[in-house]
Amino acid sequence: MTKTLEKAVSAAERLPSKLQNQVAGFLMEEVTRTELLSKIERAERDIQAGRVVSNQEARKRLGRWLK
């Protein structure tokens, strides 16, 4: 957990319970969004570094799950 997120969680814990639920929902959405952006950035770095496979190779590797 990042320092910023830790501070936000700590602050949310001091709120009335109704607000805690709303803040918790917002924080989960923000964490999910941050994780998604991180994965997209990693994928972009992989593409730039040439760590890619063709669609045909991907289908071959994932064949048993794509049936």
Total-model pTM? 0.55
pLDDT score for 19? 83
Q: How confident is the model at residue 1 (pLDDT cuts 50, 70, 90)?
A: low
Per-residue model confidence as pLDDT tens digits over 4-48? 777 877 888 888 887 888 888 888 888 888 888 899 999 999 999
pLDDT score for 15? 83
Rounded Cα distance between 32 and 34, Å, is: 5
